[in-house]
Structure formats: C-alpha cells, structure tokens
A and B are shown apart, each in its own frame.
Chain A
Amino acid sequence: MSDFTFINIDYWIPVLFSTVVLFVVFLIKEWSRKSSSTFVIRIGVALVAILALAVLALKPASRFEIEGKQGVLLTQGYQESQLDSLKKTNPKLEEVIYNDHILQSQLDSLRKVFILGTGVQPYDFWQLADKNVAFLSGAFPAGINNVNYKTSAVEGDAWNVKAQYAKPKIGNQIVLEAPGNLAIDSVRFNRSQDTVFSLQARLKAPGNFVYELVEKDSTGIEIQREPLPLHVLPKQQLNILMLNAFPTFEIKYLKNFLAALNHKVLVRNRLTQGKFKYEYFNRERETLQSLNTTVLETIDLVILDGGAWNSLSRKEQYAVRTAVAQQGMGVFLMPDENLFYGNQPLLNFKFTRTSLSEINLENGVRVSIFGYLFNPSSDINATLKSGNSLLAAQRFLGFGSVSTTVLTNTYALQLKGNKAAYKAVWSELLKPVLRAEDEVVYWEDSHQSVYKNEPYDIQFRTTLNDFKVQDASGASLPVSGDPDIEDLWSVTFYPEQSGWHQLQLKTDSIVSTHSYYVLDSLDWQAKSSRARILANENYFKSSASEETPLYLKQAINPLYFLMIFLLAMGYLWLEPKQAKD
C-alpha cells in the first residue's frame, strides 16, 4: 500500500500563503478584464498554474512500506555460536559491532536488531528506542559481579563489603586490602558455585581511600584487583545532655563511655529537691538552670529517664518537644521499670511481656532485658533487633525522634570485660536517634559507579542561589535546576581521569566539596557487565514483541507539474493575444 505525501510537508504554511498571495495578485491584475468571456477560464487556468507551482515546492511523494533488513549488534562478550545460529536462520543478517558508541546511520536500514553479548550502554538506549530489538543476553561473566558497601563511613566504624562472586575457581581467594596493600580480611572459595561473601574492616583513619578486593589464586599469585573507593569521615564531636532523677550504674557507664570518646557531655543528676550534680565533660562549665530552645539548639541528643522528665517544668517539656519536632533533636529514654506501665514521656511505646530475662544479640552477646519486648507496629522503627524480637525502637516526632530500649544492666558487659560489645550496643542504640547534620549543600550520592569518559550525573540539594560548580581543574560545570523541586539541582559531566576528585560548589562565602571516585574503564568488568545485561534486559523487554514497519518516501517526478505549469502559463500568455486578434 502506498500513501501520497509531500516531502516538504513541513513548509506547507509558507507555500499556502505564497499561493494565496499569488492568486490574489493575479485576480487584481485580471479584474480589469472581468467582463471578458474567458475570465472564468483564465482564473481557473491561473489557479492550476499556481497550484502546480506550489506542488513543485512541496515535492509530492508516494510512501511505501519496505521490507527492512535484520541486523545484529555485537556487543562486548558476545558468543560466536549464538551469532552462527542467528546467521543460519537469516543469512542476510547485517553485523554491526558496538564499541561503546553507535551511529544512527548504521541502524537506519534495520527493521529488527538483535543484540548479542552484554548489551549496549544505557546512555545509548535512546538510539534504539524506536527499533524492534531482541536482546539475547549471554551468561554473566565470571568474577565479582555484584558488590555492596557503604561508600562513605565514619572512622572507627566496622565497614562491611558484601559481594557476589560468579563461578569462582576452587582454591582462589579474595583478600580485602587496605591502602598500602595491607591485607585485612579474606575468603577462600571451596566450591565453584556462585558465592556471596562478606569481608570486614575497621576504619582507622579519615580521608579518601581506595580499599581493594584482590583475587589471588591458590598459590598466592595476584589475578585481579578491584578498587573500593571509600570516603572515611572524621569522628564528630556530639553534644549530649543527660538528665537523671537519680544516679544509676547504667548512666554512670554510659556517661563514661561517651565522655571517653571525646563527646561533649553534660550530665545533670538530681541529688535532692532542686539540687543537682552537674558534670561537664569535654566542654565548658555553664549554668543550666532550665532547658529552653536556645540551650537545646546545639544539643544533638538528650538522654533522660522518666523521673527526670517528670521533674521538668511544663515549659521545659514543651521546649524539648519543640526541639525534637522542629529541629530534629533526638531523645533517648533511659528505661526503668516505670516505663513499662507508667506514663511515658513524649511518645508512647507499646510493649509485651516476655518470660525472658536475657536475650542473645545478633552477634551472640548475651544481655539482660527488662522482661518486655516492643510491640511491632508500623509507627516505630526498630533500631536493635534480635531475630524477631525488637530490643530498641524509635518513633518519629516531626524531624526528630524518640528512642528507647528494653535492654537493662548493659554495663554488666563492661564488668564482664566485654567492653567492645558494650560500646557496639550503645553505638547502635544512639546512632539512629542523633540529630541529623543539616548540610547547606546535600550531595545525593547515587551510588553509581563512575567510569572514566562516561557521563556522571550528580544531584544536590541546596537553597543557595548564585553558586558555581567547579570540577577539580577549576572549570565551571553547567548546572540544571529541577523544574518542580526548587532546591534540587543536577550536574552531568564526563570525568577524564580516574581516581579521587572533588567537585566544589562555591558562593561568595560558602564552599562545599563533594569527593567522587572515577573508576578506570577496566575496573569491575564483571560487575558492570552484569549490570549492563540487567539494564538491557529490562529496557528491551517491552520492545521485542512488535515489529516497527519501515517506510520509504519516493518523490513523484516534478516534470509533470512543470509541464502543467508551463501549459497553463502558455495559455495565459497566448490568450490575450488571441483576444486582440
């Protein structure tokens, strides 16, 4: 089937306009001879001539659906056997080799495209958007094809790397190496099935580091080395306020633990009515008569017990509540027996009784509990769990949260000599409830792997205006703002060098930096192949069913219209002469 169409259909408006103008001009010119008997004929012929001219300008064409060719896009890691069997069914198959870029012209004539191998780069998807594509993925390549770890951590943290190794060789081992090739942790494969392993390191120093996963064979010869860029943040000094109705051992040990970590700790223990014992650790002595918004503004966490809450005045209680809800301050309720049946400060947690008096944490440490467990519900967030038992939970109140636990006498861990476990438990308990650090510029780490010469998109949120974003060499980068969300911005650029680099956001007064690591194009081959296969599978899943028809426009020979035009012109030229005669 063929349709009639114009090649220059896009110009129909100016063409129509000129046509009308010409016709009007002709009418005006002929108006003087309207009485003539040939007037109507002349008008008709002129219309034909002008239309012929217009058609000449628009270039008419007929549209044919044509039988397109089938093509195969050979991407990295394709298998010859797959290509051979494709060729057997379709000998005219056109081969296009994909080398991380593609030219539209190579795809034009293809009706159906098969993709073999690991697929095209996601940034090339748009080129294939209107094609009928069948993605025939190969097997995932052997190697570490998935890795999960935190790209930024705080020094002192236990840092975990969890990775999956596809088709390992028996006897090979993976070693986690710290900078300076210091081996920290390792795993040896003793079966050839896909293995998920987890390696751990304790971070000792702040800075931008590159840890590495090194694969070694059974004789210790290095096979491969994959970088794990890690940004280690320096320790922060927290500002903690502890309020107690009376001194307990739990408070005493917690206070010592936090103070020894060099946090600012202010402890107020009630001695008797209106008399307190104030302890200032790592901070200036200052009078704390009553809690108010100004005092609480700088506090990251308030640790208090029920008695201390009740002894606060109504105004102070309101100030604490406001600080939590509006400024994101955290409150940790030091549990006591009353917490489980009395009125709870700030927010209510629900508990169920249990016959247990001790429970094993997930790391196997045994701790005492009050004989209660949290009721799981949707409005609490478990911060410490053991199996299905919730041992600590937080509830959000505005921007901040309130947390408490059912653990008791945890200081016994220290007395038993298990100081590390004590510290780990309390770090876990307090971490989620701390006031989040509000940054002027918040860089949203998308956890994507950034490769050399591949586009890197980074988003950031800021309320600043007049700012400039510069890359490491000081060149300004174009920033685009989100049309809907006022303070969301994004930058896309192509890093040229691998390694750690920094982006800087500058205003007159503020400089915010973001460190990012650019992988070399050969890093994490197995992982990027797997990710690409998955992305391709996902993207081309829908397009495989329908075949898009290919059309070709064939121009009609313009000579016909020129002939019509010339004949019409000839008549119009000759007709007045004939009339004179």
Chain B
Amino acid sequence: MRSTGQHNVLKFKQRWQTHLWLQVVLFALIPAATLYILSFQIALSLLVFILMGLIGLVIFKPFSIPISRVIQFVDGNLQNSEYSAALVFQPKEELTRLAQIQRYRTEEKIAAELKSLQPPVHYKRFGICLLGALATLLIVFTVFKATGTRSPNHSVKPENEMIVRAVDSSEAQQIPPKIIKQSVKLRYPAYTSLGSRSTESMDIKALEGSQITWSLQFDQKVDSVFMESQSTQYLMQPNGDTYQRSQHVSASGFYNFKFVDTLGNVYISDLHSIETMYDEAPQVDIFNLDPFTSFEPQDEKTIRFEIQITDDYGIADAFIVATVSRGSGESVKFREEKIAFNTAIATGTKQQSLLQKINLDALNMEPGDELYFYIQAQDLKTPKPNIARSETYFAVIKDTTQYEFVEAGGMGVDLIPDYFRSQRQLIIDTEKLIKNKSKLSTKAFNTTSNELAFDQKSLRLKYGEFMGDEAEGGLAAQQGDPGAIEAETDDLLAEYSHKHDGANEHNLVEDEHEHEEKEGEEENPLEKYVHNHDDPEESTLFAKSLKRKLRAALNIMWDAELHLRMYDPKQSLPYQYEALELIQELKNSSRIYVHRIGFDPPPIKEDKRLSGELKDVDSFTKQEDFKESENFKALRKAISRLEQLIAHQREITSVDQETFEAAGNELAALAIEHPGNYLETLQQLRWISKNLNTQVEDLKRLQNGLLKALPEQEANPSKIKSHYSKLDALLVKKLDADE
C-alpha cells in the first residue's frame, strides 16, 4: 500500500511524462502535417510521422523517468523538502524515529506544495529541435523536388496521364503498352539563367528559344516511338528503355505521340499544345524630366532625372544616346555621342533604377545649341537582343544674339541700295525745318530748303540710275531748270546751290552724305551685277510694273524738289510722303518676288480639250483571283456532315475521314495563335479522322467546338430562287403593255 506521499510524487512523475509525450507527438505531427500540405502525399507524411515519432522518443524519452530523478528534482526544487523526499519511498519500518518524523513532515509538505511545482520540461529545447527538424525536412523536400527524383518509382499522375488509343481498334485485345513514366524537361535559354524545369504535364508553355526534351518510358517493349507535330513525324531516340526527343521552341503548335508495339499495332496519344511565350523588350521610363528643358547661358546647365529600366528576363545594357545640334538652317551641324550612365548597369537584373546627371558644358555646348537624347536599353536575348528606347527629350541653351531680317534674303543679291532710306530722312529734315521756321532767319530757312531740294535731286538721280537714265545727262538736263529758278532767286541761295552742285558734278554718289562709307566703295553699285546697260528699257532689274512705279516716284520727287526750291517745304511735304510710299511699295515688291515665281499655267483653249493624240493610250487589263483560303471550306463541310452523322447515326466513311482531317488542318492554322483554346476540338477532330470517337455526344461536342471556332462570315448578297412559267410571262407582258 502506498502512502499519500508516494502517491503525490508518482502523480508528479506522471504529469512530467505527459508533458514529454505531448512533445513527442507534436514533434512528429507538425513536420508530417507540413509535408502533407506541401506534397499531398499521405503515405510519405505517415512515414515522416512515424520516423519523427521515433526520433522524438529517443530525444525526449517520455517512458522512462527514473524515480530517483524525480526525487532529486523534488528535493532540488521544493523549498522545504529538506532533501528528504527519498524518505517517502523508504519503508516506515526501516526508518529511525527521527527519520519517521521527517518523513511525516515531508509527506505533509509534498501534499501541500507538489501540485504547484512544474515538471522540468524544456520547451525551449523542444522548439529548437522542432525547428531543426522542419528545416531539415524542407531542405530534403526541395532537393527531392528539384532533382525530380522525389519518388523514383511512382507512375504518372492521373491528371497528366495521356490517353492512348489503338488506331485499329479491332486488334486491341492484347494489352496495349502503357506509359509509366513521362516527363518534359524544359531548359530555358542560357541568358535567362533560369536553369531547367521538369514537368509531367504535356501541355507546354515555354519561352522562345527554350529547349524541350520529352522522355517516355513504357511498361512493355515497344518497337518505335514517334512524335507527330504539324503533320511531320519525328522518331524518338531510344535511350535504354526511355525514348527521348529534344526540340527548340520557335513557334506555338501541337504535337502528339505515336508508337508501334512489337506486334505492329499503332497507338496514338491525344494532342498537346506548345504555347510559345516571347521575351518582351525592356521598358524604359524616365521620371522627373520635362520633355523640353531650356537654360540661360549663365545657369548651371545640368539635367537631372531618374530612369527605371525593367525587363522580364534581365537587362543587358543601357546607355544614353545624345545628339547635339549647332547652328541653324543650312549651317546646322550634328554631333552624336553615347553617354554611359553614372552608375553602371548590372547585367542580368530585371529592374534597375538609376539617377543620372547630364552636364551640358561637359558636352561642349554653347548658347544656341540643342541637345536631343534618349535612352536605349537592350536585354540579354540571344541571338538578337530586344532593343527598346525611351522618348526623346530636348535641352536647349538659349541664344542671346538675334538674327536681323535680311532684305530680300532669298534673292542672294541685295538689290535694294541703302539710299532708299534717305527719302525718310529728307522728310524728317523737312519737317524739322518747318517746325523751326519761326526760329530761323529767312535766309537760313531758304538755304536749308534749297539744300534739302538738292538732296532730293540727288536721290532722284540715284533712282534714275536704276531706271537706266543717263545719270550725268539727267543731272545736266535738270540743271537747266534749277538754274532758271536760281536766276530768279537771290545770289546767296545760288551760291549755296552752286557750291553743292559744283562739288557734286564730279561724282554724285560720293557726295551722298547719308551713306558715306558705302559711297566710296560702290561707285555704281549695279555694275557688278548688271551687264547689259545699253538699253535702258531692257534693264533687267525690275519688272515693268516696278519700272512704272519708280517712274511715278521720280516724277513726284520732281514736284517735291520743286517746292523745296521754291522755299515752300510745307507744300513739298505731301509729295515727299507720296514718294516715300511708292518707294516702300517698291521695296515690298521685291519681297513678293519669291511668291511670284510659282507656276501660273496659261489658260487652255476650250476647243483644244480632249483632242489630244490617243494613239499611245492603251486599254488596260488586270486579272486577279481571290483565293478562298480564308474560307475554311473543310471546316464548314465538316460541320454540315456532322449534322448528318448525328441525325442519321451513320458510319463514318473514308471520305468523311478525309474531310475531318482537312478540317483539322484548317483549325490548326486558326488555332496557332491560341493553341489552348481549340485543343479539345482539335483533339476530337483527330480522333474522328482516325475513326475512333464516334459517339453521338462526342460528335455533338465536336460540332459545337467547330461552330465556335469558325469565324463569322461576312454579309453577302445572294440570289433568290424562282420559277417562271408561261403564265408569268403572259402576265409580265400584259403589265408592260399597260404601262
């Protein structure tokens, strides 16, 4: 019989053990559950559970806690046990009295305090062990998964299992070979550095340029295995008991397997798709930069912006292409430069953000220069990388100098001499004279007026030169008149007048005081350009209307000069204005010159129209045939034939098989864009063309798929059917007669 003390200690031991058992169970359960969630394999998870349970038992040893250890723990942790817990387990009889008293006391204490004492279970240690176990498990799992040797002997998963049928079903009594192992190994192009991937699923999505390797293993010996794709057969190479074939992905398409067993029976698998994905070109975005930036020459001419380059499989390189243009018009010059980024591009990254500065001074740009730049990026794709470029951005350093308007710039020769401006000067002087009339003495006034008249005269003579007038002769002739006037006027004026005249008689141009610099250089400004001076009327300087205008201007200048000579500048002023206006018009005419060189066709005489020679004009003939290739003839025929097959439950004939095969080819062409969408229909067409799936339900599904796939037809005018009899003819005749 146990004492209460013993009982309490044993209960404590039990509690301790329970905690340990719990740890063992958790230790086994958590990794097993994790594995199941990851792999959905119940057997494997159970195995792990048992294994981990065993390990747990070894680590935590829940079944054997020696009682001495319990007593030791109780002694150590129970404050008032006074290391006497062991006494509880000693028979009373063998104890001394003192010991008996001590034992009694200890029993009391144990009863009171042992319940609150926690067993020494190390949850920390448990946690570490559990984490360690989980980590190991995960590593093992990933390694298994990556190498594809997770379960070397398990057969193909049901959802990936290929349906294989014997082409000639009558011979299929014998058990057909079964595919026990199938795999597709996808090796991405080297530049993607993605390595390879294995899958059982035969519908493949692959990056362009990837290498696909199919391998099949059968449960019995087969004679040969083929892969059929786009109506071509490829023999699969036997390698031990597996058959393999590799291919580089270049386009989307379909394929299926075909194999011949040792007895010569042919089997085909259902159809699978290869969907090709294409490597996208990198995308270049520029942030925080206006498309157009301009700088003052004194600014700090630096452009700052952010660039983000992204690519789906890695960026190879990127740089800035900058073009500097200098000058304008015909003298523009370009200079192109490749600028590297401040930060180097990390090859192979999928996304990269950069901060870039461009200093315009570093590009030797001067005021007025313009910078155009864009960013070009390329990816790693081989053999030909995808290249992308950003928008083009502009930067300009403003130019402070301004271009002056060049008179008749387009003509090459500046025909209008500067004297033309003197008329305005004359007007200004005349107006000034009128204004100052009250301040001036009569003599001074008259003198000034006469001087102005002289200027007016020289101006007129200058223009006369343009007209081809004999300059000297003209001057001489005119001298008669002013002379006559002079005779009437007083001597003082004549004196002034003569002085000027005399000085100017030698060389009028030299005396032009408004344009002294030029006068020296060009005695006759036209001589350089004009070669035929002999006949004034043939002068090629101005068109006829211009000449008339100039003549009118000269005549008006006459009047202006006359009134100045008569000391009546007020009277002269309107004439001067009129002359100025005409001269302005002349200047403008020279600007219009460019417009006038356009072709102005001569009017056509009405009676000559459409009467030209037609002997070289020939009738033209053109012949063109629109092919009905887009018309899906076989598809439409197949739909119609299916309706009959469904309605009358007829057998499929060989003609039908041909139709369905042709329809299959048409559908494959249609499906090449999205192989997945039409896969089932295409598959059914293939079966039916081999006379395999001929259940009504299958046919209906096939018809459904075909109708869905067939593109809509366009509106098309079509005839109606009718029948005309003698009666109709009579009626029509009667109707026509009545009309």
Out of A275, A325, A439, A499, name the residue touching B618 (CB < 8 Å). Answer: A275
Within 8 A of A (CB), among B695-728: 700-708, 710, 712-728
Complex contact B713–A206 (CB within 8 A): no
Complex contact A277–B716 (CB within 8 A): no
Knowing A154-B718, A204-B639, A487-B725, say if A275 contacts B619 (CB, 8 Å): yes
Q: Find chain A residues with CB under 8 A from B637 CB.
A: 205
In the assembled complex, the Cα of A223 lies from the Cα of B182 at a distance in Å of: 46
In the assembled complex, the Cα of A280 lies from the Cα of B626 at a distance in Å of: 11
Q: Find chain B residues with CB under 8 A from A232 CB.
A: 640
Complex contact B647–A158 (CB within 8 A): no
Q: Find chain A residues with CB under 8 A from B732 CB.
A: 325, 398-399
| Max count, chain B CB within 10 A of own CB: residue among A180, A203, A399, A427 | A180
Complex contact B701–A436 (CB within 8 A): no
Is there a chain A Cβ closer than 8 Å to B600's Cβ?
A: no
Is there a chain B Cβ closer than 8 Å to A53's Cβ?
A: no
Q: Find chain A residues with CB under 8 A from B628 CB.
A: 262
Complex contact B704–A259 (CB within 8 A): no
Complex contact B643–A209 (CB within 8 A): yes
Nearest-neighbour CB distance to chain B for A64, whole angstroms, equals 54
Complex contact B715–A427 (CB within 8 A): yes
Complex contact B622–A279 (CB within 8 A): yes
Q: Find chain A residues with CB under 8 A from B623 CB.
A: 279-281, 285
Q: Find chain B residues with CB under 8 A from A157 CB.
A: 715-716, 718
Complex contact B617–A180 (CB within 8 A): no
Q: Is the interface of A mostly helix, strand, loop or mixed?
A: mixed
CB-based nearest B residue for A279: B622
Nearest-neighbour CB distance to chain B for A234, whole angstroms, equals 8
Is there a chain A Cβ closer than 8 Å to B130's Cβ?
A: no
Is there a chain B Cβ closer than 8 Å to A359's Cβ?
A: no
Q: Find chain B residues with CB under 8 A from A276 CB.
A: 619-620
Complex contact A236–B719 (CB within 8 A): yes
Q: Find chain B residues with CB under 8 A from A441 CB.
A: 723
Knowing A204-B636, A423-B714, A438-B724, say if A260 contacts B626 (CB, 8 Å): yes
Is there a chain A Cβ closer than 8 Å to B614's Cβ?
A: yes
Knowing A281-B624, A285-B621, A436-B721, say if A423 contacts B715 (CB, 8 Å): yes
Complex contact A278–B717 (CB within 8 A): no
Is there a chain A Cβ closer than 8 Å to B644's Cβ?
A: yes
In the assembled complex, the Cα of A272 lies from the Cα of B609 at a distance in Å of: 12
Within 8 A of A (CB), among B243-285: none
Is there a chain B Cβ closer than 8 Å to A25's Cβ?
A: no
Complex contact B723–A207 (CB within 8 A): no
Q: Find chain A residues with CB under 8 A from B626 CB.
A: 259-260, 262, 281-282
Complex contact A461–B725 (CB within 8 A): yes
Nearest-neighbour CB distance to chain B for A244, whole angstroms, equals 14
In the assembled complex, the Cα of A438 lies from the Cα of B724 at a distance in Å of: 7
Q: Find chain A residues with CB under 8 A from B595 CB.
A: none
Q: Find chain A residues with CB under 8 A from B726 CB.
A: 486-487
How many residue pairs link A and B with beta carbons under 8 A? The number is 186
Q: Find chain B residues with CB under 8 A from A236 CB.
A: 718-719
Is there a chain A Cβ closer than 8 Å to B642's Cβ?
A: yes
Q: Find chain A residues with CB under 8 A from B490 CB.
A: none
Q: Find chain B residues with CB under 8 A from A260 CB.
A: 626
Complex contact A438–B705 (CB within 8 A): no
Q: Find chain A residues with CB under 8 A from B706 CB.
A: 180
Complex contact B621–A439 (CB within 8 A): no
Within 8 A of A (CB), among B611-659: 614, 617-626, 628, 631, 635-637, 639-644, 646-648
Nearest-neighbour CB distance to chain B for A338, whole angstroms, equals 19
Complex contact B703–A430 (CB within 8 A): no
Is there a chain A Cβ closer than 8 Å to B535's Cβ?
A: no
Is there a chain A Cβ closer than 8 Å to B736's Cβ?
A: yes
CB-based nearest B residue for A209: B643
Out of A181, A272, A399, name the residue touching B614 (CB < 8 Å). Answer: A272
Is there a chain A Cβ closer than 8 Å to B43's Cβ?
A: no
Is there a chain A Cβ closer than 8 Å to B610's Cβ?
A: yes
Complex contact A277–B713 (CB within 8 A): no
Nearest-neighbour CB distance to chain A for B511, whole angstroms, equals 70
Complex contact B713–A202 (CB within 8 A): yes
Nearest-neighbour CB distance to chain A for B694, whole angstroms, equals 15
Q: Find chain A residues with CB under 8 A from B714 CB.
A: 156, 261, 420, 423
Q: Find chain A residues with CB under 8 A from B636 CB.
A: 155, 204-206
Within 8 A of B (CB), among A169-194: 178-182
Q: Find chain B residues with CB under 8 A from A277 CB.
A: 619-622
Complex contact B639–A207 (CB within 8 A): yes
Q: Find chain A residues with CB under 8 A from B704 CB.
A: 178-182
Is there a chain B Cβ closer than 8 Å to A500's Cβ?
A: yes
Nearest-neighbour CB distance to chain A for B99, whole angstroms, equals 86
Knowing A204-B707, A235-B716, A430-B717, say if A275 contacts B617 (CB, 8 Å): yes
Complex contact A205–B622 (CB within 8 A): no
Is there a chain B Cβ closer than 8 Å to A271's Cβ?
A: yes
In the assembled complex, the Cα of A436 lies from the Cα of B624 at a distance in Å of: 27
Nearest-neighbour CB distance to chain B for A419, whole angstroms, equals 8
In the assembled complex, the Cα of A261 lies from the Cα of B718 at a distance in Å of: 11
Knowing A423-B714, A427-B715, say if A279 contacts B624 (CB, 8 Å): yes
In the assembled complex, the Cα of A300 lies from the Cα of B623 at a distance in Å of: 20
Complex contact B725–A280 (CB within 8 A): no
Complex contact B621–A435 (CB within 8 A): no
In the assembled complex, the Cα of A328 lies from the Cα of B722 at a distance in Å of: 11
Within 8 A of B (CB), among A136-186: 154-158, 178-182
Nearest-neighbour CB distance to chain A for B659, whole angstroms, equals 12
Is there a chain B Cβ closer than 8 Å to A426's Cβ?
A: yes
Is there a chain B Cβ closer than 8 Å to A312's Cβ?
A: no
Is there a chain B Cβ closer than 8 Å to A3's Cβ?
A: no
Nearest-neighbour CB distance to chain A for B140, whole angstroms, equals 49
Complex contact A210–B647 (CB within 8 A): yes
Flag A258-270 by CB within 8 Å of B: 1 or 0 each. Answer: 0111100000000
| Max count, chain A CB within 10 A of own CB: residue among B644, B705, B718 | B718
Is there a chain B Cβ closer than 8 Å to A273's Cβ?
A: yes
Is there a chain B Cβ closer than 8 Å to A333's Cβ?
A: no
Q: Find chain B residues with CB under 8 A from A434 CB.
A: 717-720
Within 8 A of A (CB), among B650-708: 700-708
Complex contact B614–A208 (CB within 8 A): no
Q: Find chain A residues with CB under 8 A from B642 CB.
A: 179-180
Q: Find chain B residues with CB under 8 A from A325 CB.
A: 732, 736
CB-based nearest B residue for A274: B614
CB-based nearest A residue for B729: A399
Knowing A154-B716, A179-B643, say if A437 contacts B722 (CB, 8 Å): yes
Complex contact A420–B707 (CB within 8 A): no
Is there a chain B Cβ closer than 8 Å to A539's Cβ?
A: no
CB-based nearest A residue for B628: A262
CB-based nearest B residue for A424: B715
Is there a chain B Cβ closer than 8 Å to A28's Cβ?
A: no
Q: Find chain B residues with CB under 8 A from A426 CB.
A: 715, 717
Flag A404-419 by CB within 8 Å of B: 1 or 0 each. Answer: 0000000000000000
Nearest-neighbour CB distance to chain B for A539, whole angstroms, equals 31
Complex contact B718–A282 (CB within 8 A): no
In the assembled complex, the Cα of A209 lies from the Cα of B714 at a distance in Å of: 20
B-contacting residues of A (Cβ < 8 Å)? Answer: 154-158, 178-182, 202-210, 232-233, 235-236, 238, 259-262, 271-282, 285, 300, 325, 328, 397-399, 420, 423-424, 426-427, 430-431, 434-439, 441-442, 461-463, 485-487, 499-500
A-B contact pairs, 22 of them (CB 8 A): A154-B716, A179-B707, A180-B700, A180-B701, A180-B703, A182-B708, A204-B712, A271-B619, A273-B610, A277-B620, A277-B621, A278-B620, A279-B622, A328-B724, A397-B736, A398-B732, A427-B716, A434-B717, A436-B720, A437-B722, A442-B721, A442-B722
A-contacting residues of B (Cβ < 8 Å)? Answer: 610, 614, 617-626, 628, 631, 635-637, 639-644, 646-648, 700-708, 710, 712-729, 732, 736
The 7 nearest A-B residue pairs measured at CB: A207-B640, A442-B723, A180-B704, A180-B703, A156-B713, A205-B636, A436-B722
Inter-chain pairs besides A259-B624, A277-B620, A486-B726, 10 sampled, C-beta below 8 Å: A154-B716, A157-B716, A179-B700, A180-B706, A262-B626, A277-B619, A279-B623, A285-B623, A437-B720, A485-B725
